[in-house]
């Protein structure tokens, strides 16, 4: 990477992460694309290079890097974090946009014993962020959590939503947890790094055949998403631009620490999940235990 801001983007092969990566690269950041498969990451990197060339923006090949990670697997998360620390001497930002959503099945219990959506959406990103925090503090780092506005009460006796598993409820709980953790990180690390929650609205990359197959296939969910995709969904750039603004336009990042944004707009109304300090402490402690961070 050249002497640019280095921003890690998880979910970079998806709609919002992809839009964010392009917008960041166009604004002159070095981007590191994170995802499970190297071929997909390389294809996304190539498409970003094409977009930069078409926009006549100078770049070096090393300004767009790839890093393989599987957020459902804590060993993979640890390896990827170690690789990131090794390859990127400065890390200015982290966009957390990876997501697993299994709308009709579950609970999907991984060999580790954890539930798939909980591990991928909550544990993995938490562990990865923790392992990069020290490096990010050296560059006034900003962690941007891509959230959804759903509110679903956390079941503290069943944090992973394994008993009486309802896939949509389990998913929405993980999204509620994103806001809880975004706010708790902001409280704990104020003055060291900054943390914001970002609500992208409804975004869908209709040009991506894999996403189209996954979301617009048959069944009731596919039908619902098809209607939404046609009439309401915005393209990835619609969320990508405000992510790039948040990452690159704030000289004093501490001024936005702990804030919730809907695209470019700061939401002034207090958010139930973000404001609850008791939940913040409780979930943080649970995640420290579940990810094995106490044994470090």
Ligand X SMILES: NC(=O)c1ccc[n+]([C@@H]2O[C@H](COP(=O)([O-])OP(=O)(O)OC[C@H]3O[C@@H](n4cnc5c(N)ncnc54)[C@H](OP(=O)(O)O)[C@@H]3O)[C@@H](O)[C@H]2O)c1
For the CA atoms of the chain, what is the radius of gyration? 18
Give the per-residue SS3 of 154-210: CCCCCCCCCCCCCHHHHHHHHHHHHHHHHHHHHHHCCCCCEEEEEECCCECCCCCHH
How far apart CA 17 and CA 20 sit, in angstroms, is: 5
Q: CA 181 from chain center: how many Å?
A: 12
Shortest separation between residue 66's beta carbon and ligand X, angstroms: 11
**Residue number with CB closer to ligand X (192 or 234):** 234
**Residue number with CB closer to ligand X (57 or 100):** 100
How far apart CA 47 and CA 253 sit, in angstroms, is: 30
Nearest to 170 by CA among 262, 77, 218, 99: 99
Shortest separation between residue 56's beta carbon and ligand X, angstroms: 27
Shortest separation between residue 81's beta carbon and ligand X, angstroms: 13
How far apart CA 103 and CA 119 sit, in angstroms, is: 16
**Residue number with CB closer to ligand X (55 or 232):** 232
**Residue number with CB closer to ligand X (118 or 279):** 118
**Residue number with CB closer to ligand X (76 or 254):** 76
Shortest separation between residue 11's beta carbon and ligand X, angstroms: 3
- Closest residue to ligand X, judged by C-beta, is 14
What is the token pair recorded at 290?
A: 């579940």
Shortest separation between residue 126's beta carbon and ligand X, angstroms: 13
**Residue number with CB closer to ligand X (70 or 241):** 70
Shortest separation between residue 10's beta carbon and ligand X, angstroms: 6
**Residue number with CB closer to ligand X (40 or 78):** 40
**Residue number with CB closer to ligand X (13 or 195):** 13
Shortest separation between residue 167's beta carbon and ligand X, angstroms: 14
Shortest separation between residue 58's beta carbon and ligand X, angstroms: 27
The partner residues of 194 in beta bridges, in order of sequence, read 142
Q: Which residues bind ligand X (CB under 6 A)?
A: 11-17, 35-37, 40, 69-72, 97-100, 120, 146, 148, 175, 200, 202-204, 211
């Amino acid at each position: 990477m050249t002497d640019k801001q280095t921003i890690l983007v998880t979910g970079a092969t998806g709609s919002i992460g992809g839009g964010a990566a392009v917008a960041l690269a166009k604004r002159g950041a070095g981007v590191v694309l994170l995802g499970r498969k190297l071929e997909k990451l390389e294809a996304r990197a190539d498409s970003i290079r094409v977009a930069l060339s078409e926009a006549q923006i100078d770049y070096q090949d090393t300004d767009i890097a790839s890093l393989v990670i599987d957020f459902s697997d804590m060993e993979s998360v640890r390896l990827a974090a170690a690789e990131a620390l090794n390859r990127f001497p400065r890390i200015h930002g982290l966009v957390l946009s990876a997501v697993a959503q299994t709308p009709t099945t579950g609970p999907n219990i991984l060999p580790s014993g954890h539930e798939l959506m909980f591990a991928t959406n909550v544990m993995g990103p938490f562990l990865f962020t923790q392992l990069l925090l020290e490096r990010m503090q050296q560059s006034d780092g900003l962690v941007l959590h891509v959230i959804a506005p759903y509110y679903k009460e956390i079941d503290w006796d069943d944090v992973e939503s394994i008993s009486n598993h309802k896939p949509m409820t389990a998913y929405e709980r993980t999204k509620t947890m994103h806001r809880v953790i975004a706010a708790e990180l902001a409280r704990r690390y104020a003055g060291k790094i900054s943390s914001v929650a970002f609500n992208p609205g409804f975004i869908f990359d209709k040009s991506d055949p894999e996403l189209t197959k996954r979301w617009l296939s048959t069944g009731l969910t596919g039908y619902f998403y098809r209607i939404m995709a046609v009439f309401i969904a915005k393209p990835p750039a619609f969320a990508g631009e405000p992510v790039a603004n948040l990452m690159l336009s704030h000289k004093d990042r501490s001024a936005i620490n702990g804030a919730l944004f809907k695209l470019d707009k700061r939401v002034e109304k207090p958010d139930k999940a973000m404001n609850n300090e008791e939940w913040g402490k409780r979930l943080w402690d649970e995640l420290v235990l579940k990810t094995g961070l106490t044994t470090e």
